[in-house]
Structure 1
Amino acid sequence: MYELPPLSAIRTFLVACRAGSFTAAAHELCVTHGAVSRQIQSLESWLGQNLFEKQGQRMVPTPHAQALAREMSATLESLVEIVQRYGKGETKNSLRVSVPTTLGMRWLIPRLTDFHLNNPDSNIQILTTTTQQQSNHSNFDIAIKRDGLLIDGHQSSFRFLSDHHSVIAAPHLLKEKPLSCLEDFYRHTIFETETRPGHWKEWFSAASFADYRELKRQRFDHFHVTLQGIMDGLGIGVGPISTLSLDIAAGKISVPFGDIMVAHQYYCASTPVGIQKTTLHRKFEDWLITMGNLT
């Protein structure tokens, strides 16, 4: 076993650093000022380093102590996550779900009410990610990814949602500038997304439209930004129809060429190795499959 300072001293030290004084730490921990001082002295003796200095009537953390507190806090958070993952899984009612931003905002979150109706005590924590972000296995229990972007080291993975892309636009924009034939594209601004390259080219190819290079264009870095511009009526884009199905059904988005679909993809749910599948975890997996089938 590695030799470590007392956990009680570490806890007191972290609270004192966050609170900014021994008095505030004592109040938070419901102990005396002297008890806090003794715990800090114990840690200082173990480290051979002063961690607090007197400023007026207060004992405040040194820059060295603040740096130590940041690293200790991160380490303890990781330890807590490990203990929670390997605890009594059947009774755990919290689930961390990593999901791409657009799918989380437009498909998953609006449907969570349905899951909570049958699981009222559940706590589903949504962690949105962009395409470029690398997944940290310690931060989630389930990762939702587009097929082909699966994480390494997953113990299980399954497809639950099929999606296609087509031209999308705001209804009020199409009322002002109808989009009923290919020539009408010259009246609009084409919105492109850096993380989804090639979708317009694929769609124009499927539509047998060869003169698309002269169209007005504007590019955004992520699709959820592109989508906001589309919904505001600033331009038109190519978007995922299943992901946006609720917005389409509500009349917030129109699909003027719904018979031309491209860029087929699946979304998968993966569980990293080391995550204990709880009852809630398995219920959520089953629910994803059901919602995918209903979309």
Structure 2
Amino acid sequence: MRRLPPLNALRAFEATARNGSLTRAAQELSVTQGAVSRHVQQLENWLGVSLCARLRRGIETTPEGEAFAALLGSVFDQIEAQVRRMRQKPATNTLRIKLPPTFAIRWLVPRLARFHALHRQIDVQITTSHQTVDFDREDIDICIHSGTTPLPSVYCRRLFGEILLPVCSAGLFGKYPPLSRPEDLARHVLLCSLHRPDDWPLWLRAAGVRHIDGNEGLKFENSALAYQAATDELGVVMAQRAFVEDDLRVGRLVAPLDLRIATSSAYFLAYSRARRATPLMAAFEEWIVEETAAMEEAA
């Protein structure tokens, strides 16, 4: 038999701690401030622990109260997510994918027409984020994960590794000095993503260049913006080969320096082991594996 505090008392305390106010908690729960206060007091009596300190401008949780509120918030989030999934009408033809913005913009979207041509019955919903997916809380079927190791406790399949190389617009050389040796980068603007601060230092070390600070230059929210800046002749970007191959092929960007560096990171396809792979997920996995294999063969 479970021995748990009253649910209303738990809800009242969690809302109070989250809002930092009895008044705002009462407004959220559509009850009176007095009712919230009584529920919190009831919970404190039940536990035999002080959870809140009442201040003139609100409330402040004690260390025990803060830890308990964090636990309750996590549990309520999981309950809310599961209830939402249960109440939603299942979309049997919708595949929900979460992936990094640059992977989506520079790699997946340009190829997505080929997947759609093969599977016109599948509706694809794309969400972009640098945050690691939480399959227990998010309505996501498949994610693309970037890292040095696969995600724990989920099914992962390696797609391809990272190969770094500097690229820029050919028009850049009409404005700046030539770029034929790594040392020439000292006279150019370095471009990179805020999420990838180690790329330039890694490449410069491999090139044996010590006098250039790889952390200087222009930094952008994601690599896709940095690639666009390079296309617009703002400077030289440290690119991932997979994301600029089309630009190099058509001459939109050029790679003036030969050195390529493989990092320890790779891209993985991942989905929850708890949810069996649906036919939609299996179709997408088969397609993306074929696409990445074709890319690697061509390179």
Q: Normalising by the residue count of structure 1, what TM-score does the alignment of the two structures yield?
A: 0.65
Counterpart of 1:161, as a letter, is F
Query: How far does residue 201 in structure 1 lie from its aligned partner after superposition?
Result: 1.5
Counterpart of 1:123, as a letter, is D
Query: How far does residue 215 in structure 1 lie from its aligned partner after superposition?
Result: 9.4
Spell out, residue by residue over 1:247-266, the C-alpha distance to the aligned partner (whole angstroms, 9 max, x if none). Answer: 22232222112333242532
- Match in the other structure for 1:44: none
Contact 2:201 2:213 in 1 (8 A): no
Aligned pairs for 1:116-135 (under 5 A) are 116-130=116-130, 133-135=131-133
- Match in the other structure for 2:202: 202
Query: How far does residue 212 in structure 1 lie from its aligned partner after superposition?
Result: 1.2
- Match in the other structure for 2:237: 237
1:173 aligns with 2:177: no
Match of 1:136 among 120, 134, 137: 134
Change (3 A) 1:218 1:255: same
Provide the C-alpha distance between the structure 2 equivalents of 1:209 and 1:77, rounded to a whole number of angstroms: 51
Counterpart of 1:81, as a letter, is R
Spell out, residue by residue over 1:49-71, the C-alpha distance to the aligned partner (whole angstroms, 9 max, x if none). Answer: 8xxxxxxxxxxxxxxxxxxxxxx
Query: How far does residue 48 in structure 1 lie from its aligned partner after superposition?
Result: 9.9
- Match in the other structure for 2:185: 185
Change (3 A) 1:146 1:123: same
- Match in the other structure for 2:275: 275
Change (3 A) 1:276 1:83: farther
Change (3 A) 1:104 1:183: same
Runs of 4+ off more than 6 Å: 74-77
Aligned length: 220
Counterpart of 1:125, as a letter, is Q
- Match in the other structure for 2:85: 81
Unaligned runs of 5+ in 1: 1-46, 50-73
Q: Normalising by the residue count of structure 2, what TM-score does the alignment of the two structures yield?
A: 0.64
Spell out, residue by residue over 1:76-111, the C-alpha distance to the aligned partner (whole angstroms, 9 max, x if none). Answer: 8754534679x6xxx922100111000110001110
Cα root mean square deviation, aligned: 3.1
Provide the C-alpha distance between the structure 1 equivalents of 2:30 and 2:121, rounded to a whole number of angstroms: 47
Provide the C-alpha distance between the structure 1 equivalents of 2:88 and 2:261, rounded to a whole number of angstroms: 44
Contact 2:167 2:239 in 1 (8 A): yes
Change (3 A) 1:174 1:83: farther
Spell out, residue by residue over 1:177-198, the C-alpha distance to the aligned partner (whole angstroms, 9 max, x if none). Answer: 3311234213211123332122
Change (3 A) 1:149 1:262: closer
Query: How far does residue 75 in structure 1 lie from its aligned partner after superposition?
Result: 8.0
